[in-house]
A and B are shown apart, each in its own frame.
Chain A
Amino acid sequence: MMNNNDLDNQDEGLVSFLKKNAPDIPKTSDGLEDRIMKAISAEESPPLEEESLFDKLKQFFNPYIFIPASIAVAALLVAAIILPIGKTTKDNSLEMAETGDFVEYVWETGYEDYWDNDLTAEINEIMEL
């Protein structure tokens, strides 16, 4: 386990001296082992647990998993929610314009946010037909 790479040449003598003269470990007192066993018997110790939901969540929130997953979910949300809404609005608008109900619909529902020049032009064109 000794990693000589960590040693400069000038340190070899010092480290060797330290090892050779390392302070002795004092003899263990009689009864310490029993004292510790008695102490742990009195101590409450939580039981070993299987991997909890929190651990699984923590694993999920690992940046290497969580960030790509978040981007993927965000992209799916854009695709699933924003795009169909835009398409439906325009399709419905034109359909209603064709039937003559659109202006009334906009008037009643305050749908004017969706009113723009292109749509106006398209509706006028249809109405002139």
Chain B
Amino acid sequence: MSLVEVINVTKEYANGEESIRPLDEVSLSVEEGDFVSLMGASGSGKSTLLNLIAGIDLVTSGEIVVADTDITQLSRGKLADWRARHIGYIFQTHNLIPVLTAYENVELPLLLLPMSGAERRKRVEIAMAAVDLTSRASHYPRQMSGGQEQRVGIARAIVSNPTLVVADEPTGSLDDETTEQILQLLERVNNELGMTLLMVTHDADAGQRARRKIRLERGRLMENGKELHTAKIRTA
């Protein structure tokens, strides 16, 4: 079974009196260890799909199964617990907590998991070393460049060794040189740490770095010019 299965998912929301349906019965499977890029025009619904898979948004209909858990059936509290254990989220704008140091930001997800202080320290040090920011551990976000902030964001996303790392336009606010560094880092996360990565980007060059390239067009998911269909229907 695939690590991620998106089955006939529709997302609809109201914008004033207008009803918007960015996702219309879309289906997608992601295998463990994959690096998938999700591209599409602005407003095509790619970030919406990412947020649904990450469990921070709710489907209108359909199912999303990640590591054998149908997350559409979880309550808000259980979904939060599930995210803590299974999801590493990389934001476009880094979204580090400004009052915490780089070290404390990376440590944050681990505070939600049952582990000793020593184990926590060890994991944070490994994650900081993985993004080559050990020397910046005591720095606050305001004392770092955009690229460094994003590396801290990546360290925070991988520190808990999540089932799935999702990245929403991770290079969207960076210059070319820093974009390249971040993409290389994401490739390492996938290749060397073996983490499954789902990246949303509108940058075609960035999208090409993934092993699978999927486009979202008019509410439909396309791969290699063909629409993706559901492998199976789980609901009765």
Task: Answer yes or no: are A and B bound together in one complex.
Answer: no
Please give the residue numbers on chain A whose beta carbons come within 8 Å of chain B beta carbons, in ascending order. Answer: none
Please give the residue numbers on chain B whose beta carbons come within 8 Å of chain A beta carbons, in ascending order. Answer: none
